[in-house]
Amino acid sequence: MIVSHKYKYLFIEIPLTASWAIRNELCEYYDGIPVLHKHATYSEFRRQGSKKEMSYFVFAAVRNPLDKIVSRYYKLKMNQKEIFSKDAFLRQSVIDYSDIKKYAYIISQEISFEEYFIKYCKKPYNDMIDFSSKYLDYVIRYESIQDGFSGFLKGVDIE
């Protein structure tokens, strides 16, 4: 989560929406300061934020749910950042343990995306943004991230 007291905005970082790239841009060029933890919800911020901060312009990014599922499949299949190698696994402070089983299944069975989707995508889709959506003033769509970021800048009167 990134806040700027100069420009009065709060950026909620939603996983798999280029939040790391947006975070870096905000911190380097737009007086952003990391607060709480990377994927904190607005509710978490409300518990510690000041009354003034509650009036800040709040925004986040979203991504097509199917695109996120495809991305997750390929990250597991390709063992991105070698997260499932023994040494990397031991260094992880936080890991989604369901991914260990998914990774093992994908590798051992050499399953296709279609098989992965049928086996692991049975529940109705929801996302972390669901916890914060009613507080958002603006949403950047991953599919048009540059236009969305430009729209955010206009929304907070930054040239």
pLDDT at 93 over 50: no
Element (H, E) at 112: none
6: phi then psi, degrees, rounded to nearest 5: -65, -50
**What does the pLDDT look like over 113-132, one tens digit per residue?**
888 888 877 766 666 666 67
Give this prediction's pTM: 0.75
How large is the average pLDDT for residues 50-77?
88
pLDDT at 65 over 90: no
Confidence of residue 94 (pLDDT cuts 50, 70, 90): very low
Residue-averaged pLDDT of the chain = 83
| Segments making up each domain of the chain, as ranges | 2-64+127-155, 65-120
Tokens of 111: 């399953």
Name the token pair of 83: 């997260």
**Edge-first strand listing for the sheet containing 33-34:** 33-34, 2-4, 9-12, 57-62, 138-141
